[in-house]
Amino acid sequence: MCNSIEFATFPHFFSDTLRFYRHTNVVYLNTVVGNTEQFIKRNFRVRVITNTVLPGAYEYDLALIENDRFLLSNVDLRRIQQLADVMDFDASQSEAVKRNGVMLPSGFCEYEREIKKLPVFDRTRYHRATLHYFLWHLAKYYLINSGPNDRGLRLSEAVRFYLREIKRPFRSNREVNESYQRIDRETLENIAARVLIVDVPPAQGYGALPPFIQVREVLVNEQFSLPGILPSGYFFGSHFDSEDDYIDWMSEFLSHCQHMHLWLLIVRDVAMLKGLGKMLEAMNRRSRSFSHPITEAHSFNYLVSQPA
């Protein structure tokens, strides 16, 4: 069973399509959080090809989408746990430090630095991505449980718990999945895929990331900034001066995906549905829109499109 957020992000009517097109290739543009691509890999026998501009999202997809197996050996796990035992601290008594927009206990930051000095961190890019995935879970825990009145787990206990938990998502769907960062148009044209999924943010772009995503990016790149990786008019998530400029850019970018038969656009700004529908019509594609409420105040909106 998937949770409500995963269900809303990946609706049942499209799930049925993927069950029908087994062993096909699915391209997912603009991965951000990681739920959707992981849901696809876990539930369908399709080849998943992801792309993002966020360095932390790319590490996530390297670890869980392109890679299949949990790569840390028992020796690696013992060393990680031993470090936590030696550097143990109580988050409620640890000084909080600001790390590029997020507050974390200083004890966690010291532990993170030691983890990144271990030989396993540089063994392969998949080992590095797996360790970043582990550190992200640990950091998210301390984002919630690091105040002076919080009585959370000590570092040693938290590490012991998450070293067990992070193994669960690692699995194979028996396909050769791929992850990209800043995919170029020529590569898009050369990917033989039947299904395209695009997460379409508003034309105003991403103003700020939620803390649990911001901390993932900071763990990968201490100097991370949205303007630095998403200059105006550059990619999904960038700021565009107007909706028309955004749709013109999107039309040019997606023209390199016309050989992909079925498109699913996840539309974050419902006001854009009309403009996107006209764009798809001009690209000689017919489309239908759907809306799925997940709370009283929030719905996910979709455009499903195929050649006319």
What are the tens digits of pLDDT across the range 86-99?
999 998 888 899 99
Q: Is 16 exposed, middle or buried (0-12, 13-18, 19+ CB in 10 A)?
A: exposed
Q: How far apart are CA 228 and CA 212, in angstroms?
A: 19
Q: CB within 8 A of 8, min separation 6: which ones?
A: 292, 294, 299, 300
> How is the chain split into domains, by residue range?
4-68+176-217+225-307, 74-165
In this predicted structure, what is the pLDDT of residue 92? Answer: 82
pLDDT at 124: 98
Q: Does this model's pTM top 0.75?
A: yes
CATH code of domain 4-68+176-217+225-307: 3.40.50.150
Q: Which of 145, 138, 137, 158 is nearest to 85 (CA)?
A: 158
| Position 298 confidence tier, pLDDT thresholds 50, 70, 90 | confident
Q: Of residues 195 and 4, which shows the higher confidence score?
A: 195
- Per-residue pLDDT, 8: 47
Task: Render pLDDT for 130-146 as a digit per residue (tens, 0 to 9).
Answer: 999 999 999 999 998 76
Which has the closest alpha carbon to 42: 65, 13, 62, 16? Answer: 65
Q: Are 106 and 172 in contact (CB under 8 A)?
A: no
3 pLDDT more than 70: no
Tell me whether strands 262-267 and 195-200 are parallel, antiparallel or unpaired. parallel
| 11 has a pLDDT exceeding 60 | no
